[in-house]
Amino acid sequence: MIDYHLHVIAHGDRPMTVENIIAYLEVAKSRGLRQMGITEHDRYLEEIDLAAFQEAREKYQDVELRLGIEIDFVPGAEERMDRDGSALPYDYVIGSVHRVDNEEVDHPDHQDIYEKWETYDLYEAYYKNVREAALSGRFEILGHPDLIKIFRHFPDRDITPMLEETADAVAESGIVVDVNAAGLRKPIAEIYPSRQLLEMFHRRGVPIILSSDAHAPDQVALGYDKSLKLVHDVGYREVATFKDRERGNLSLSA
């Protein structure tokens, strides 16, 4: 199995040293992972220590190490996204929508956006950004595609058509979807994406990766019992993998 979206530096919690990377790899190994990808937030790009990454990859061969980055998708910031998305020899680039009108939707201390917007309209604006991120062609992987549910603000109208439109765009784009267990640790207490949205992706042949979005070593592959059951129940039998921005695949049972 793989964990393709996680943070060692996280939010400036620790430096990217060989020891800190190996602490994550140890947990990855103990939880049966074959591959682990480090994907820092783009705003910590300067703190990514490529030499430490390469040394850890050499030293610790029980789990294959990959390098990615999580780009914060903001319409209008194409120059910044292109610069950050090509700054290092990444194996893959994740594009994640965290913002509507440049305001974060997932910050526990700044939830004003949910007061300002009518929830249905906010969801519409969020999924519009998700479709744009997918169709932009900048990213191999679409991060946590329904993050907007994080604090359990739900629209009072059915959003099925909105999700179908988003699944169509994702399928058309050829992007791979991040099945991200971090939602289990948030108020929503479920995986991103929801079963409903994941079923829409599966019907359209959209490939997936699995991740924990760990921000600490003990979170590596956390929640995978639930993720694996979900993706298997929906009908997935393999995950996508990446090396040097080339896609491969791995059986779910591997």
Q: Which residues contact 3 (CB under 8 A, 6 or more apart)?
A: 28, 33, 35, 36, 37, 210, 211, 212, 214, 220, 221
Inter-CA distances, 124 with 98, 155, 198, 254, Å: 14, 10, 18, 38
Note whether 40 and 8 are within 8 A (CB). yes
Nearer to Zn ion, 71 or 163 (CB): 71
Q: In 165-175, which positions are buried (b, 16+ CB within 10 angstroms) versus exposed (e)? A: bbbebbbebeb
Compute φ and ψ for 92, nearest 5 degrees.
-165, 160
Q: Are 70 and 144 in contact (CB under 8 A)?
A: no
Place of tokens 């030499």: 51
| Residue 202 Cβ vs Zn ion, minimum distance, rounded to whole Å | 22
Stretch that binds Zn ion, among 15-23, 66-74, 131-139, 190-198 (CB under 5 A): 66-74
Q: How far is the CB of 156 from Zn ion (least distance, A)?
A: 27
The residues with which 240 forms a beta bridge, in sequence order, are 249
- Contacts (CB under 5 A) with Zn ion, residues 218-237: none
CB of 115 to Zn ion, least distance (A): 22
- Which stretch in 28-36, 91-99, 120-128, 155-163 sits in contact with Zn ion by CB under 5 A? 91-99
Which residue number places its CB atom closest to Zn ion?
Answer: 96
Q: Which is nearer to Zn ion, 69 or 167 (CB)?
A: 69
Question: Contacts with Zn ion: how many residues (CB under 5 A)?
Answer: 3
- Using CA atoms, how far residue 119 sits from 69, 115, 149, 240, in Å, is 30, 9, 10, 33
Complex with Zn ion: residue 49 or 70, whichever CB lies closer: 70
CB of 72 to Zn ion, least distance (A): 8
Nearest to 150 by CA among 221, 205, 199, 100: 100
- If one asks whether residue 91 binds Zn ion (CB under 5 A), the answer comes out as no
Which stretch in 30-38, 64-72, 107-115, 122-130 sits in contact with Zn ion by CB under 5 A? 64-72
Nearer to Zn ion, 96 or 173 (CB): 96
Q: Does 173 bind Zn ion (CB under 5 A)?
A: no
Among 64, 84, 91, 213, binds Zn ion (CB under 5 A): 213
User: In the set 4, 24, 52, 96, which binds Zn ion (CB under 5 A)?
Assistant: 96
Comparison of 55 and 77: residue with beta carbon closer to Zn ion: 77
| Residue whose CB is less far from Zn ion, 146 or 213 | 213
Query: What minimum distance in Å lies between the beta carbon of 139 and Zn ion?
Result: 12
Separation in Å, CA 34 to CA 56, 61, 158, 163: 15, 10, 40, 32
CA distances from 204 to 49, 182, 207 (A): 38, 24, 9
Binding site for Zn ion (CB under 5 A): 70, 96, 213
